[in-house]
Amino acid sequence: MDGKNIKKPKIRLLLSVCCILLLTATWQGCTVSYSFSGASIPVDAKTFSVAYFRNNASLVEPMLSQTLTDALKNKMTNQTRLSQVDRNGDLAFEGAITNYLPSQPGAISGETALRNRMTISVSVKFSNAIEPTQNFEKTFTQYTEYDSFSDLMSIQSSLIDAVVELLIEDIFNQAVVNW
C-alpha cells in the first residue's frame, strides 16, 4: 500500500466525523423536545399548571373533580420533563366537568339493555405560553360500558377511574402530542 491509499480513508473518516458534528450542532438548535411518551414540548417550556376542574354536570359525583385534576397532574409529571407550578405554567390547563351520566345506551323494542354506559365530558382550556398557536378550548367525552345487572354503587369508582384515564389520554395527546 502506498501513502495515497492510506490518506483517502483517513480523509473520508475525517469528513464523516465533521458532518456528524455539524448535524449534531444543528439539531441542538431545534425548538422542539421529544420524549418516550411521544410528547412534543417546546424546549423553552419548563413548567405546567393544572387548575382544579370544577364539576358543573347536572349529576355531581363528589370525588370526580379531584380524581380528574390529580390524574392530569400525574400524567404531566410522569410523562414530561416539566415541573408543576400552582398557576401560570408555561403549559396551563383549566376547565370543568360538564357531563357525568350513568345511562342505558338503549334497549331494542322492549328488551332490557344488557349493558349500561358511564359517560363523562370535560371542557378543557389549554394555554401554551411558549407556542400560543397550540392553545385550544375543547370538550372531551369518553365512556365505558358495564353489565346492567351490576350494582353501580359497588363499581362506580372503578368505572370513573377507567373513563378518567381515557379522558386524560385524549387531553394529553391534544395538548402535547398534537395528534
pTM: 0.74
Cβ 128 vs Cβ 109: under 8 Å: no
**Cell 363523562 identifies what position?**
120
Cβ 92 vs Cβ 136: under 8 Å: no
Residue 142's H or E segment, with its range, is strand 136-147
Work out the burial of residue 166: count CB atoms within 10 Å of its CB; fewer than 13 is exposed, 13-18 middle, 19 or more buried.
Answer: middle
Strands 115-128 and 47-50: unpaired
**Cell 495515497 identifies what position?**
4
Q: What is the pLDDT of residue 131?
A: 93
Domain containing residue 57: CATH number: 3.30.160.150
Q: What is the pLDDT of residue 152?
A: 75
Q: What is the pLDDT of residue 133?
A: 92
Give the total number of structural domains in the chain: 1
**Domain-located, residue 20:** no
Q: What is the pLDDT of residue 10?
A: 64
**Domain-located, residue 69:** yes
3-class state of residue 63 by DSSP = coil
**Cell 345487572 identifies what position?**
149
- pLDDT per residue, tens digit, the chain (179 aa), is 555 555 566 666 666 655 555 444 444 444 443 344 456 788 899 999 999 999 999 999 999 999 999 999 999 999 999 999 999 999 999 999 999 988 876 655 455 567 888 999 999 999 999 999 999 999 999 999 988 777 777 788 999 999 999 999 999 999 998 65
**Domain-located, residue 61:** yes
Q: What is the pLDDT of residue 151?
A: 77
Structural domain boundaries, residue 64: 45-177
**Domain-located, residue 28:** no
**Domain-located, residue 115:** yes
Nearest C-alpha neighbor of 44 from the set 54, 32, 34, 52: 32
Q: What is the pLDDT of residue 115?
A: 82
**Domain-located, residue 146:** yes
**Domain-located, residue 53:** yes
Q: What is the pLDDT of residue 42?
A: 85
**Domain-located, residue 54:** yes
